């Protein structure tokens, strides 16, 4: 006896579909990592957002171009802004402002709330931003110096601190590479590199800060040492005596010049300890009132040490004052200034110590108590507070080698931000691997002879008895917790086990920095494990082509563009197998295929060529790839001996002038509960359910058209095509296909030909449904066939080729949709939801399919029969109701992709979004009909049953007595 | 005699249409299994890209290598030895006895050929006499635009034009009924 699936589907369609994230579910079923990206050493600092208050915030402009303020006490993000890429960030000392320079623009931000105060864009690219310090306080907002590279030439602009307007401009006539700008209040210095790549001399131009006119210029010979801009270690910030420093070729000496003093190039020897020096960093205070001291931190392979130098302002001499002894391992040094005092904080694996720049006496020392999982310290910023005469406190925000951002407060770990998780490029769901032992035992018992199986089973049960006391002990707690706990789905943190509802799953996330994370969706997306799969060179991104999780073995395979791959155990993050990039051919894409030896992830080389494959691993089905010129090809594997050779079966080229921008197919898990749609007159339209549908998007930039082609991936036949005119092809054009329908979204203009009719320009979403025939209760050319072939002749007499009957409707939507995907549930009975990423409002919306129904009656109210089938009147605009926003109040930035997977409950689909941020939630598009919500009061149910039980127990004897009495008394 | 007339009447639209079939293209086929096999012309299609009417000017059942199972169908350029259009594949069984092929020609919005596909179906002589190969034309459709609401029309006084409510039958002709009733009442009282 099976419950008819159609009946269930009908019941579900009558249920009201939820459009809402319920208030009591928000922040409980969803999780969100507000990430920034990796903080950069030169753009991270503590700063007082309100100059009159002591409290500071931690500011950073990350490698992903996210500008953010973090509360140093809690580690929570106070505000964030997404800028265009990496850049420069400076705090305006004494004012509640931070200034950023990214891409072409310079922007000033209110340090307290992150609102933009002003922004100004120019033609060139920002090379440096500096705050122009004033001699006296109270001269109004401090001006900003912004260095640009315009057509290979340096341009320096002084921008007014209040408005961002240009005060003066300085154009360098030579084609020298602009490096940095610096100032010592009296003068402005533009440092540029003269020469060609591979050997540069350093040119310092001195400008008058009031007029921007060049006063002086000198060149420092550094051709043998400086090969690239990165070789210049430091161009001193706004200290009283700005310096420029670089190391010689062999890293034996440090060359230092006081900016503005052309004659003084001093050579400071770098002391070696434990072999060659591998890294030198210079730390100097940034405040104008700070003492002119700096620290040189040298790393050898196994240890690190530091020297502190003082600059004599009168003579311009640089003298070594003292040194910090060598300590094993890696360490981070950071500078902190308080009034004129400068403190250096040295953090190594074992201890944190602070020294004053003036003398070598250690002011404070704490042992480091930080989780070893974070790895070694790479760089950090520190804030030293003098609490008493000689008591100090220090907190430092340090980036570790495992890409965590850790706050170390007096040696103890205060908070950790998993910033390495930002910049995710690929993710995939994975089931938590179950212990297979019981299943194996049961299977073994089934195959052995009955007697031995019986004995084995008895033994197993006796063996299981040892767990009984524990089970009985735990039983009251389990009952109590299930009654008292409001959330039925909560589970113990830390325990990675499957739950009865299928909400606990793993997400494997790969980031652009070559790191892989395993997250537990059941415990608010907590990081279960992490590993550095590959070292990605700076400036490059790991291009992950595909992740495939083999649920039978619990192993995830991640394939990258340079032929690299890594096999990771999904439960532990242990690497089973690894291939470094460059050893195997380039990969254009990767596809999960089914072969005679089981499913696997097939890498497809350049120009859509998967190459020859051993025949036992050859895909069973056709493969759809994109060729050299973007054309879509259908590949078939022909077995030749032990090898399977790909043959191009068919090719699809769009109409002339169009280029293919996107090719999508139905999701791998796309079950269909009902094969037809019931019309109001109780007839049925049969769905066109081909598993081989491919939707191709082609655009023509010159003709401003977007054309969508629906192909059969087996035969390559064009089943349907539709075109839009007046499309802005620079705006996102996204599409999704599932079941018997597809949707796409684009920006379309008013066409001159439709001038007579009311028309509109804006973002549109178009939904199309495919049916087997335009006549109800008729399957058209497919007749009564259960199966049909795209290639073989049809057995239905005189049938035409089976082309779908398509009905479409277009709606206007208020904003652009950058990505679309569809929810997935176990049986497909639950109505699907379209998950759309909205970039401009940093959110994800779930649009129910009932709204996106092309059968909605246009220009009239639905008849009662239509209303019964869930149809309601067509409205040309779909308003993005805040109740449909899955991210509710959260701001999820930089979402690249949204992936969905079914839970065990039919009502629920798990959703995970990644990009810069990570967000996950559960959606129940047809309401959670198979699980009790939080509002269900188990206490009152238990109390009612108990009360009734008491009532029965009390009344029972009374009634019995009365009945007996009644009999006796009447008789 | 009658039958002939009906036949002529049936053919008339086809004959009339053939005069405005302004475009034509030749469809070629090739065996998929090996690229060395020759590309052979299969049919010539005459069509009209605006009315989407089409007919087969010629159709030659190909002589196929018995080993070939899959055939590539498309528009071929003999001059450059390359496929001009998108190609699709079909089974060699499509040309077997007892089956009749249908060609589907896909056109873009301007009437250019995107691709050709071919699919056969069993011939049932009981239903039709038309056993020959057929042709069908698909054209890229213009996508629907949002069905916007009509603009609000105001009267010269700046008010919404009130729709005139249609009077019911009774409201219009109540006096007829009244007259009838009066007649009936006054006519009463026959000699008793």
**Buried b / exposed e across A177-188, counting CB within 10 Å, b at 16+?**
bbbbbbbbeebb
- Measured at the alpha carbon of residue A351, what is the angle toward residues A346 and A356, in degrees to the nearest 5? 35
A633 has a pLDDT exceeding 90: yes
Closest of A494, A441, A481 to residue A463, by C-alpha:
A441
Q: Taking CB atoms and an 8 Å limit, are B86 and A716 in contact across chains?
A: yes
A647 to chain B: which residues are within 8 Å by CB? 32-33
For the sheet containing A253-258, what is the strand order? A232-235, A243-247, A253-258, A265-269
Task: Indicate the residue of B33, B99, B117 with minimum beta-carbon distance to A717.
Answer: B117
Angle between helices A468-484 and A938-970 (to 10 degrees): 90
What span, in angstroms and rounded, lies between the C-alpha atoms of A397 and A407? 4
Residue A576 lies in a domain: no
Q: What is the mean pLDDT of residues A629-649?
A: 90
B91 to chain A: which residues are within 8 Å by CB? 789, 791-793
SS3 A215: strand
Could you give phi then psi for residue A968, rounded to 5 degrees? -65, -40
When pLDDT is cut at 50, 70 and 90, the band that residue A6 belongs to is low
- Looking at the DSSP assignment, which residues form a beta bridge with residue A508? A428, A518
What is the separation of C-alpha A902 from the centre of its chain, rounded to a whole number of angstroms?
21
Higher pLDDT, A349 or A650: A650
Lowest mean pLDDT among A426-430, A700-704, A712-716, B36-40: B36-40
A18 has a pLDDT exceeding 70: no
pLDDT at A157 (0 to 100)? 93
Q: Taking CB atoms and an 8 Å limit, are B128 and A798 in contact across chains?
A: yes
Q: Taking CB atoms and an 8 Å limit, are B85 and A653 in contact across chains?
A: yes
Q: Taking CB atoms and an 8 Å limit, are A758 and B150 in contact across chains?
A: yes
Minimum distance, in Å, between the CA of residue B192 and any CA atom of chain A: 57
Could you give phi then psi for residue A50, rounded to 5 degrees? -120, 115
What is the span of the domain harbouring residue A947?
937-971
pLDDT at A409 (0 to 100)? 92
**Quick one: which H or E segment has residue A655?**
none
Tens digit of each residue's pLDDT (9 = 90 or more) over A19-43: 567 777 888 889 999 999 999 998 9
Nearest-by-CA chain B residue for A792? B91
Q: Which of B89, B124, B128, B130 is the best residue to mutate to test the A interface, defined by the most A CB atoms within 10 Å of its own CB?
A: B89
Lowest mean pLDDT among A25-39, A751-765, A769-783: A751-765
Structure tokens at A832: 């699907």
Task: Indicate the residue of A724, A757, A874 with minimum beta-carbon distance to B143.
Answer: A724
CB A628 within 8 A of CB A653: no
A803 to chain B: which residues are within 8 Å by CB? 104, 138
A9 has a pLDDT exceeding 70: no
B121 to chain A: which residues are within 8 Å by CB? 781, 793-800
What span, in angstroms and rounded, lies between the C-alpha atoms of A880 and A109? 30
Q: Taking CB atoms and an 8 Å limit, are B117 and A718 in contact across chains?
A: yes
What span, in angstroms and rounded, lies between the C-alpha atoms of A267 and A841? 54
What span, in angstroms and rounded, lies between the C-alpha atoms of A80 and A114? 7
Nearest-by-CA chain A residue for B85? A653
What is the separation of C-alpha B59 from the centre of its chain, rounded to a whole number of angstroms?
21
pLDDT at A491 (0 to 100)? 52
SS3 A80: strand
Task: Indicate the residue of B88, B93, B146 with minimum beta-carbon distance to A812.
Answer: B146
CB A632 within 8 A of CB A660: yes
Q: Taking CB atoms and an 8 Å limit, are A724 and B83 in contact across chains?
A: no
Minimum distance, in Å, between the CA of residue A848 and any CA atom of chain B: 19
Angular region, A943: left φ>0, alpha ψ -120 to 50, beta rest = alpha
Residue A229 lies in a domain: yes
Q: What is the mean pLDDT of residues A703-730?
A: 94
Minimum distance, in Å, between the CA of residue A794 and any CA atom of chain B: 4
Could you give phi then psi for residue A295, rounded to 5 degrees? -125, 135
Q: Which of A624, A749, A798 is the best residue to mutate to test the B interface, defined by the most B CB atoms within 10 Å of its own CB?
A: A798
Minimum distance, in Å, between the CA of residue B80 and any CA atom of chain A: 17
Could you give phi then psi for residue A890, rounded to 5 degrees? -75, 150
Q: Taking CB atoms and an 8 Å limit, are A717 and B134 in contact across chains?
A: no
Residue with tokens 């052995």: A448
pTM of the full structure: 0.87
Q: What is the mean pLDDT of residues A399-403?
A: 92
Task: Indicate the residue of B115, B117, B146 with minimum beta-carbon distance to A760.
Answer: B146
Residue A961 lies in a domain: yes
A493 has a pLDDT exceeding 70: no
Cβ contacts below 8 Å, chain A against chain B, sum to 172
When pLDDT is cut at 50, 70 and 90, the band that residue A239 belongs to is low
Q: Taking CB atoms and an 8 Å limit, are A799 and B121 in contact across chains?
A: yes
Q: What does the DSSP assignment read for chain B?
A: -HHHHHHHHHHHHHHHHHTT--EEEEEEEEESS-TTSPPEEEEEEEE-TTT--EEEEEE------TT--EEEEE-EETTTTEESSB-EEEEGGGGSTTEEEEEEEEE-TTS-EEEEEEEEEE--TTT-S--S-EEEEEEPEEPPPP-PPPPPPBPTTSSBPPPPPPPPHHHHHHHHHHHHHHHHHHH-----
Q: What is the mean pLDDT of residues A485-503?
A: 65
CB A334 within 8 A of CB A282: no
Task: Indicate the residue of A647, A651, A811 with minimum beta-carbon distance to B86.
Answer: A651
pLDDT at A945 (0 to 100)? 96
What span, in angstroms and rounded, lies between the C-alpha atoms of A226 and B39? 64
Q: Taking CB atoms and an 8 Å limit, are A799 and B109 in contact across chains?
A: no
SS3 A844: strand
Nearest-by-CA chain A residue for B30? A649
**Quick one: which H or E segment has residue A917?**
none
What span, in angstroms and rounded, lies between the C-alpha atoms of A913 and A725? 32
Residue with tokens 């606990």: A504
Q: Taking CB atoms and an 8 Å limit, are B32 and A649 in contact across chains?
A: yes
CB B117 within 8 A of CB B88: yes
Q: What is the mean pLDDT of residues A800-812?
A: 93
A151: CB partners within 8 A, 6+ apart = A124
Could you give phi then psi for residue B57, rounded to 5 degrees? -75, -35
Task: Indicate the residue of B83, B117, B141 with minimum beta-carbon distance to A801.
Answer: B117
A969 has a pLDDT exceeding 60: yes
Average pLDDT, chain A: 88
Tens digit of each residue's pLDDT (9 = 90 or more) over A914-948: 999 999 999 999 888 888 877 778 888 899 999 99
SS3 A764: strand
Residue with tokens 């980031």: A511
Higher pLDDT, B19 or A265: A265
pLDDT at A2 (0 to 100)? 46
A879 to chain B: which residues are within 8 Å by CB? none
Minimum distance, in Å, between the CA of residue B74 and any CA atom of chain A: 9
Nearest-by-CA chain A residue for B106? A718
Closest of A325, A549, A525 to residue A426, by C-alpha:
A549
What span, in angstroms and rounded, lies between the C-alpha atoms of A560 and A580? 10
Task: Indicate the residue of B86, B119, B146 with minimum beta-carbon distance to A653.
Answer: B86
Strand segments (E) across A57-171: 57-62, 66-70, 77-82, 87-92, 97-102, 105-110, 116-121, 125-131, 144-150, 153-159, 166-171
What span, in angstroms and rounded, lies between the C-alpha atoms of A718 and A720? 6
pLDDT at A754 (0 to 100)? 56
Minimum distance, in Å, between the CA of residue A846 and any CA atom of chain B: 21
Residue A709 lies in a domain: no
A212, A234, A269 — which closes off a domain? A269
Tens digit of each residue's pLDDT (9 = 90 or more) over A81-123: 999 888 999 998 888 899 999 999 999 999 999 999 999 999 9
Task: Indicate the residue of A651, A802, A874 with minimum beta-carbon distance to B87.
Answer: A651
Q: What is the mean pLDDT of residues A197-226?
A: 86
Count of other CB atoms within 10 angstroms of residue A874: 19
Q: Taking CB atoms and an 8 Å limit, are A715 and B117 in contact across chains?
A: yes
B104: CB partners within 8 A, 6+ apart = A717, A718, A801, A803, B116, B117, B118, B119, B135, B136, B137, B138
Nearest-by-CA chain A residue for B35? A647
Tens digit of each residue's pLDDT (9 = 90 or more) over A879-900: 999 989 999 999 999 999 999 9
pLDDT at A228 (0 to 100)? 82
Count of other CB atoms within 10 angstroms of residue A292: 22
**Quick one: which H or E segment has residue A560?**
strand A555-560
Minimum distance, in Å, between the CA of residue A16 and any CA atom of chain B: 26
Minimum distance, in Å, between the CA of residue B101 and any CA atom of chain A: 8
Could you give phi then psi for residue B12, rounded to 5 degrees? -55, -50
pLDDT at B192 (0 to 100)? 44
Minimum distance, in Å, between the CA of residue A655 and any CA atom of chain B: 6
Tens digit of each residue's pLDDT (9 = 90 or more) over A365-393: 999 998 888 888 989 999 998 888 788 89
pLDDT at A303 (0 to 100)? 87
Q: Which of B32, B86, B107 is the best residue to mutate to test the A interface, defined by the most A CB atoms within 10 Å of its own CB?
A: B86
Structural domains of chain A, count: 2
Average pLDDT, chain B: 81
Task: Indicate the residue of A791, A797, A877 with minimum beta-carbon distance to B89.
Answer: A791
A154: CB partners within 8 A, 6+ apart = A127, A147, A148, A171, A172, A176, A177, A178, A190, A192
pLDDT at A435 (0 to 100)? 63
Q: Taking CB atoms and an 8 Å limit, are B89 and A716 in contact across chains?
A: yes
The per-residue pLDDT string of chain B (192 residues; one tens digit each, 9 = 90 and over) reads: 454 445 444 444 444 444 578 888 999 999 887 767 888 899 999 999 989 899 999 998 888 877 888 899 999 998 888 898 999 999 988 888 888 899 999 999 888 999 999 999 888 877 667 778 899 999 998 888 888 887 777 878 887 776 667 777 778 788 888 888 888 888 766 554
Task: Indicate the residue of B86, B87, B91 with minimum beta-carbon distance to A793.
Answer: B91
Q: Taking CB atoms and an 8 Å limit, are B70 and A707 in contact across chains?
A: no
A1 has a pLDDT exceeding 50: no
Lowest mean pLDDT among A211-215, A623-627, A690-694, B7-11: B7-11
A760 to chain B: which residues are within 8 Å by CB? 146, 148
When pLDDT is cut at 50, 70 and 90, the band that residue A742 belongs to is very high
pLDDT at A728 (0 to 100)? 94
pLDDT at A196 (0 to 100)? 76
A238 has a pLDDT exceeding 60: no
């Amino acid at each position: 006896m099976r419950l008819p699936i159609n009946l269930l589907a009908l019941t579900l369609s009558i249920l009201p579909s939820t459009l809402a994230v319920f208030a009591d579910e928000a922040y409980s079923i969803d999780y969100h990592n507000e990430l920034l990206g990796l903080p950069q050493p030169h753009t991270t600092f503590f700063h007082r957002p309100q100059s009159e208050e002591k409290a500071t915030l931690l500011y950073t402009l990350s490698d992903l171009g996210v500008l953010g303020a973090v509360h140093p006490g809690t580690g929570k993000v106070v505000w964030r802004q997404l800028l265009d890429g990496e850049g420069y960030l400076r705090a305006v000392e004494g004012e509640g402002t931070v200034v950023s320079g990214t891409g072409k623009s310079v922007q000033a931000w209110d340090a307290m709330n992150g609102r933009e105060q002003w922004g100004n864009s120019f033609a060139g690219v920002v090379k440096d931003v500096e705050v122009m310090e004033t001699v006296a306080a109270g001269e109004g907002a401090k001006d900003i110096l912004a260095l640009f590279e315009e057509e290979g030439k340096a341009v320096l602009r002084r921008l007014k601190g209040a408005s961002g307007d240009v005060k003066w401009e300085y154009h360098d006539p030579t084609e020298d590479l602009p490096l940095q700008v610096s100032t010592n209040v009296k003068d402005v210095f533009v440092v540029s590199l003269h020469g060609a790549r591979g050997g540069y001399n350093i040119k310092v131009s001195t400008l008058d800060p009031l007029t921007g006119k060049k006063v002086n210029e000198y060149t420092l010979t550094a051709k043998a040492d400086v090969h690239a801009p990165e070789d210049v270690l430091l161009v001193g910030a706004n200290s009283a005596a700005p310096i420029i420093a670089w190391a010689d070729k062999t890293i034996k000496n440090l060359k230092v010049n006081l900016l503005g003093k052309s004659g003084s190039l001093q050579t400071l020897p770098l002391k070696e300890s434990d072999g060659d020096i591998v890294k030198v960093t210079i730390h100097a205070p940034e405040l104008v009132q700070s003492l002119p001291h700096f620290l040189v931190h040298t790393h050898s392979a196994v240890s690190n040490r530091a020297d502190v130098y003082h600059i004599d302002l009168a003579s311009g001499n640089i003298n070594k004052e003292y040194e910090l002894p060598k300590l094993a391992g890696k360490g981070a040094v950071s500078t902190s200034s308080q009034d004129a005092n400068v403190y250096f904080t040295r953090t190594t694996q074992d201890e944190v110590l602070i020294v004053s720049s003036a003398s070598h006496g250690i002011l404070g020392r704490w042992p480091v108590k930080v989780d070893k999982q974070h790895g070694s310290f790479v760089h950090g910023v520190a804030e030293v507070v003098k609490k008493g005469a000689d008591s100090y406190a220090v907190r430092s925000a340090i980036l570790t080698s495992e890409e965590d951002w850790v706050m170390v407060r007096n040696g103890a770990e205060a908070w950790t931000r998993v910033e390495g998780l930002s910049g995710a490029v690929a993710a995939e769901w994975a089931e938590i691997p179950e212990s297979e032992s019981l299943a194996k035992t049961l299977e073994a018992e089934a195959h052995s002879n009955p007697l031995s199986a019986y004995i084995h089973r008895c033994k197993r049960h006796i063996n299981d008895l040892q767990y009984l006391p524990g089970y009985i002990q735990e039983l009251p707690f389990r009952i109590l917790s299930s009654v008292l706990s409001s959330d039925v789905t909560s589970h113990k943190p830390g325990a990675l086990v499957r739950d009865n509802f299928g909400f606990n799953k793993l997400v494997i996330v790969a980031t652009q920095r070559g790191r892989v994370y395993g997250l537990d969706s059941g415990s608010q997306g907590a990081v279960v494990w992490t590993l550095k799969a590959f070292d990605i060179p700076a400036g490059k991104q790991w291009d992950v082509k595909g992740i495939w999780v083999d649920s039978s073995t619990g192993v995830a395979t991640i394939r990258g563009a340079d032929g690299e791959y890594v096999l990771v155990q999904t439960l532990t993050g242990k690497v089973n197998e690894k291939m470094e990039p460059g050893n195997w051919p380039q990969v254009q894409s990767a596809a999960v295929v089914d072969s005679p030896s089981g499913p696997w992830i097939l890498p497809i080389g350049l120009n859509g060529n998967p190459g020859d494959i051993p025949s036992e691993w050859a895909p069973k089905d056709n493969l759809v790839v994109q060729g050299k010129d973007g054309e879509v090809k259908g590949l078939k594997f022909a077995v030749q001996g032990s090898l399977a050779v790909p043959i191009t079966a068919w090719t699809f080229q769009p109409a002339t002038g169009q280029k293919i921008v996107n090719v999508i197919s139905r999701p791998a898990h796309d079950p269909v509960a009902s094969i037809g749609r019931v019309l109001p007159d109780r007839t049925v339209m049969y769905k066109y359910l081909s598993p081989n549908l491919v939707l191709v998007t082609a655009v023509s930039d010159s003709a401003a058209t977007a054309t969508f082609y629906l192909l059969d991936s087996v035969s390559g036949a064009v089943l349907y095509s539709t075109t839009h005119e007046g499309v802005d092809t620079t705006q996102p054009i996204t599409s999704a296909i599932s079941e018997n329908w597809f949707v796409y979204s684009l920006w379309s203009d008013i066409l001159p030909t439709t001038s007579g009719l009311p028309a509109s320009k804006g973002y549109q979403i178009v939904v199309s449904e495919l049916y087997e025939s335009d006549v109800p209760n008729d399957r058209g050319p497919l007749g009564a066939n259960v199966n049909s072939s795209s290639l073989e002749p049809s057995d239905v007499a005189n049938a035409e080729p089976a082309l779908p009957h398509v009905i479409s409707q277009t709606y206007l939507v208020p904003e652009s949709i950058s990505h679309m995907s569809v929810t997935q549930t176990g049986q497909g009975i639950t109505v699907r939801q379209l998950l759309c990423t909205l970039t401009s409002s940093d959110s994800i919306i779930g649009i129910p399919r009932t709204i996106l129904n092309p059968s909605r009656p246009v220009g009239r109210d639905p008849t009662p029969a239509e209303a019964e089938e869930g149809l309601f009147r067509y409205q040309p605009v779909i308003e993005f109701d805040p109740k449909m926003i899955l991210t509710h109040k959260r701001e999820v930035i930089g979402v690249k992709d949204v992936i969905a997977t079914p839970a065990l409950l039919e009502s629920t689909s798990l959703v995970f979004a990644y990009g810069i941020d990570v967000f996950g939630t559960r959606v129940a598009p047809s309401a959670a009909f198979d699980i009790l919500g939080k509002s269900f009061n188990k206490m009152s149910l238990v109390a009612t049953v108990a009360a009734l039980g008491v009532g029965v127990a009390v009344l029972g004897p009374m009634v019995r007595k009365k009945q007996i009495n009644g009999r006796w008394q009447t008789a | 005699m009658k039958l002939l007339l009906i036949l002529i009447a049936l053919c008339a639209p086809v004959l009339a249409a053939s005069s405005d079939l302004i475009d034509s293209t030749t469809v070629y086929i090739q065996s998929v299994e090996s690229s060395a096999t020759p590309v052979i012309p299969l049919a010539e299609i005459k069509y009209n890209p605006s009315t989407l009417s089409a007919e087969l000017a010629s159709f030659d059942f190909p002589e196929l290598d018995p080993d070939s199972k899959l055939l590539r169908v498309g528009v071929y350029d003999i001059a450059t030895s390359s496929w001009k259009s998108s190609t699709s594949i079909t089974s060699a069984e499509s040309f077997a006895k007892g089956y009749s092929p249908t060609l589907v020609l896909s056109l873009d919005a301007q009437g250019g050929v995107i691709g050709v596909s071919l699919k056969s179906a069993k011939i049932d002589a009981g239903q039709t006499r038309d056993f020959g190969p057929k042709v069908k034309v698909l054209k890229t459709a213009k996508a629907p635009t949002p069905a916007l609401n009509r603009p609000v029309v105001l009267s010269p006084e700046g008010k919404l034009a009130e729709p005139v409510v249609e009077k019911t039958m009774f409201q219009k002709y109540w006096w007829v009924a009244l007259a009838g009733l009066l007649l009936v009442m006054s006519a009463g009282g026959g000699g008793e």
